[in-house]
Amino acid sequence: MDVDELLAGLDADQRAAVTVAAAPLAIVAAAGSGKTTVLTRRIAYRIATDPDVQPQHVLALTFTNQAAGELHKRLRRAGLRERIEAGTFHAVAMRLLRQRSIDLGQRPPSIASDRFRLMNEAIRLAGVNAEPSVALADLDWARARRVPFAEAAAAAKRVGRRINLGPTEFVAVAQAYATIKNRRGVVDFDDLLEQSLQALGTDKAWAAGVRWRFRHLFVDECQDLNPLQFAFLEALRDGRSDLCLVGDPRQAIFSFNGADPTIMDNVEQVYPGITITRLTRNYRCTPQIITAARGVLTQAAQSDDSVAVPGDGMGVRVVGLPDDAAENIAVGRLLREIIGAQRPWRSCAVLARTVAQLTAVSHALARAGVPANVQGRTGARRAFGAAMAEAYACRTPTDLGAWVEAVTADANTDPVRARVAEAADRFLAQRTGLSLRAWVELHSPFDNLEDAQPEDAVDLLTFHGAKGREWQTVIIIGAEQGLIPHSTATTVPQRAEEARLLYVACTRAREQLVITWAAQRNGRSAQASPLIADLATTVDEPAAAPTVRRLPRAEPDPVYAALLAWRSNAAKAAQVAPAAICSDESLRKVAAARPNTVDEVIALTDLGPISAARIAPRMLSALSRAL
């Protein structure tokens, strides 16, 4: 790897975070500050400059498989040939336990395929009346917080949460759930962490081997750590100092599932002597959006020191509507106004506090002829979900093999379905003894699954679901007291988290932010959220329903379309995601500027010199053919 290339393009704070020799280290990264870039380059920089740091001894813990896949992709583009170990806490624990079981001649753990069915049986066995999804949520919270089941109700009450069963009933359900898992010979994700913790504490030889293997620890999004994950991390670390934490306390929004933001808030007390570096430059949002987002935190007595790098943009617009029906209609009108004739629908997102709001607005957009993806269900993801459901429905290897053969023989099969069948075929060939579901969790074969040509539709997501995403324009709906902050937020920490949740939603916008609220929702009077008190509201008159006719759209650029086709073919040949070749934005710039040399391509795109030497000549050739 070229060290100069690893440091190229970094600002002073980013460079310091990548190169500082301190350990342990915490990188507090504001929204849009290049967190993933810094994490990737710090890993690559340490491997490139420190002979004691070898890829096989690096462990990066993430919170999603997609984040782990993105990390691998960026490290490959940085020139790292060997793979580091990267994955979610549960995936890493699964791999460790599986190898330990094989070494001991035992059956590897098998992940439960249907936890709701198990919980249903547990509720019947315990003889209580409970909703399985609610009981599972309460049980998951207690286990994530490492709270004894008999003390769960009291512990939940202290943080403003409610366990929906009495203490005796909750203990009975928890014990029945564990009993049924044991009878079936299956585990769930929290079992993976709990069993790994137990083995690390009791099997000294195995623990020493694990710690020898994982000597350099990196944790992404550490503001979302829960006590169980933190205990697993600490058991792996075993007092060693080679630890890098990356996160942002301003984006701690998952306490409902057991996350403990105080771990990151009190990182100096948790790790005495830790070095903290801060990334404050926001390269995503305009100053107007940063000011509005900061104002949200200020209303909840929280602070934000981030600084916008982009130049001035449009002011943040707050629109008041008479009621929720008018708001849903107005969203369609606003989207058409913003999109105009040129921009793609996918440059916009509508974000809401609850799924129910998204359902209502999606129906209004459908009537208005505005295409929308609800909760990120793009065409590829919908096809993927359907194909995985088909594969998981096969109860035996013979059934799965027959399904693979049928899919493979169908010349008209969907490419995503064919991709799932190919992975299932590899699973059958390996004969691991795992279930297909456990094998997928262990190997993450679909991390780079994405649309080769993304569906042109507005994204509709909850605030939580939008975390880690960004769009040119964001419309936040339902900014009213009772929704933002939500009526269930009764304690000071819960209300503080509601402010951070709105802050996260605001900072998903790059150029334009619109916030709407309704004076009446579900037939009841409502008031604008106190979190937007500093933002002036424009009162909108009830809007007439827009016509279904789509506004005229510019014809797609044939040069850009040709470059997209070239990239898609190149990605298939290399067996990587299209974005691993280069980004959409890079292709747009090349299509517009029409460069003639490799150096001009480097200046226009996000390709580094090493990647450009390999990719740019082929890109120029494709450009030449398109002209």
Q: What sign does the CA torsion over 493, 495, 501, 504 have?
A: negative
Q: Across all residues in the chain, what is the average pLDDT?
A: 88
For the stretch 219-243, what's the b/e string if a residue is b when 16 or more beta carbons lie within 10 angstroms of its beta carbon? bbbbbbbbbbbbbbbebbbeeeebb
Select from 298, 358, 306 the least CA-distant residue to 507: 306
Alpha-carbon span 409 to 401, nearest angstrom:
12
Q: H or E element: which one contains 372?
A: strand 372-374
Whether the per-residue pLDDT at 552 is higher than 70: the answer is no
Give me the percent of the chain exceeding a pLDDT of 90. Answer: 62
Using a cut of 0.85, tell me whether the model's pTM lies above it.
no
The count of other CB atoms within 10 Å of the CB of residue 540 is 17
CB 284 within 8 A of CB 507: yes
Between 369 and 381, residue with greater pLDDT: 369
Tokens describing residue 146: 């490492």
- Per-residue pLDDT band for 619 (boundaries 50, 70, 90) equals confident
Alpha-carbon span 237 to 321, nearest angstrom:
53
DSSP symbol at 434: S
- Per-residue pLDDT band for 542 (boundaries 50, 70, 90) equals very low
Residue by residue, what is the 3-state secondary structure of 36-93? HHHHHHHHHHHHHHCCCCCHHHEEEEECCHHHHHHHHHHHHHCCCCCCCEEEEHHHHH
Beta bridge partners of 319: 516, 538
Where is average pLDDT lowest: 152-161, 257-266, 587-596? Answer: 587-596
Judged by DSSP in three states, 550 sits in: coil
DSSP symbol at 187: B
Judged by DSSP in three states, 240 sits in: coil
The count of other CB atoms within 10 Å of the CB of residue 58 is 25
What confidence score (pLDDT) does residue 546 get?
38
Alpha-carbon span 275 to 294, nearest angstrom:
26
What confidence score (pLDDT) does residue 577 get?
56
As a whole number, mean pLDDT of residues 423-448 equals 75
Q: What are phi and psi of 277, to 5 degrees?
A: -115, 145
Q: 273-295 pLDDT, tens per residue?
A: 999 999 999 999 999 999 999 99
Side-chain half-sphere exposure of 171, counting CA atoms within 13 A:
7
For the stretch 411-430, what's the b/e string if a residue is b when 16 or more beta carbons lie within 10 angstroms of its beta carbon? eeebebbebbbebbbebbee
Give me the percent of the chain exceeding a pLDDT of 70. Answer: 91
- Per-residue pLDDT band for 550 (boundaries 50, 70, 90) equals very low
Q: What are phi and psi of 218, to 5 degrees?
A: -130, 135
Alpha-carbon span 72 to 74, nearest angstrom:
6
Alpha-carbon span 539 to 51, nearest angstrom:
63
CA-CA-CA-CA dihedral for 263, 267, 270, 272, to nearest 10: 180
Tokens describing residue 272: 């005495």
CB 295 within 8 A of CB 502: no
CB 358 within 8 A of CB 571: no
Q: 378-408 pLDDT, tens per residue?
A: 555 667 778 888 888 888 888 888 888 888 7
Beta bridge partners of 525: 520
Q: 216-258 pLDDT, tens per residue?
A: 999 999 999 999 999 999 999 999 999 999 999 999 999 988 9
Name the H helices within 159-273.
Answer: 167-184, 189-202, 204-213, 227-237, 262-265, 267-270
CB 96 within 8 A of CB 212: no
Alpha-carbon span 212 to 57, nearest angstrom:
8
Between 155 and 607, residue with greater pLDDT: 155
Kindly list the distances between the CA atom of residue 81 and the CA atoms of 74, 77, 430, 442, in Å, as whole numbers in the listed order: 11, 9, 25, 21
As a whole number, mean pLDDT of residues 495-522 equals 95
Alpha-carbon span 467 to 49, nearest angstrom:
33
Q: What are phi and psi of 25, to 5 degrees?
A: -135, 135
- Per-residue pLDDT band for 417 (boundaries 50, 70, 90) equals confident
Q: H or E element: which one contains 281?
A: strand 281-282
Q: H or E element: which one contains 319?
A: strand 317-321
Question: Which range, 212-216, 341-345, 429-433, is most confident?
Answer: 212-216
Alpha-carbon span 46 to 22, nearest angstrom:
12
Between 590 and 550, residue with greater pLDDT: 590
Kindly list the distances between the CA atom of residue 251 and the CA atoms of 18, 228, 279, 296, 502, in Å, as whole numbers in the listed order: 22, 20, 14, 13, 10
Q: H or E element: which one contains 515?
A: strand 509-518
CB 476 within 8 A of CB 516: yes
What confidence score (pLDDT) does residue 236 get?
97
Between 511 and 385, residue with greater pLDDT: 511
Whether the per-residue pLDDT at 377 is higher than 70: the answer is no
Q: 83-132 pLDDT, tens per residue?
A: 999 999 999 999 999 999 999 999 888 888 889 999 999 999 999 999 99
Alpha-carbon span 603 to 232, nearest angstrom:
44
- What percent of the residues of the chain are helix, what percent strand, and what percent coil, each to the nearest 5? 55, 15, 35
Select from 418, 426, 420, 415 the least CA-distant residue to 392: 420
Tokens describing residue 260: 């403990």
- Per-residue pLDDT band for 539 (boundaries 50, 70, 90) equals low
What confidence score (pLDDT) does residue 180 get?
96
CB 265 within 8 A of CB 255: no
DSSP string, 288-302: HHHHHHHHHHHHTT-
Whether the per-residue pLDDT at 541 is higher than 60: the answer is no
Whether the per-residue pLDDT at 455 is higher than 80: the answer is no
CB 87 within 8 A of CB 444: yes
Q: What sign does the CA torsion over 488, 491, 496, 500 have?
A: negative
Which residues contact residue 555 at a Cβ distance below 8 angstroms, ignoring those fewer than 6 apart? Answer: none
CB 403 within 8 A of CB 421: yes
Alpha-carbon span 391 to 410, nearest angstrom:
16
As a whole number, mean pLDDT of residues 208-213 equals 97
CA 82 centroid distance within chain: 25
What confidence score (pLDDT) does residue 538 get?
62
Whether the per-residue pLDDT at 422 is higher than 90: the answer is no
Between 397 and 148, residue with greater pLDDT: 148
Alpha-carbon span 482 to 530, nearest angstrom:
10
> Given the DSSP bridges, would you call strands 520-521 and 524-525 parallel, antiparallel or unpaired?
antiparallel
What confidence score (pLDDT) does residue 394 get?
87
- Per-residue pLDDT band for 203 (boundaries 50, 70, 90) equals very high
CA 405 centroid distance within chain: 34
Judged by DSSP in three states, 627 sits in: coil
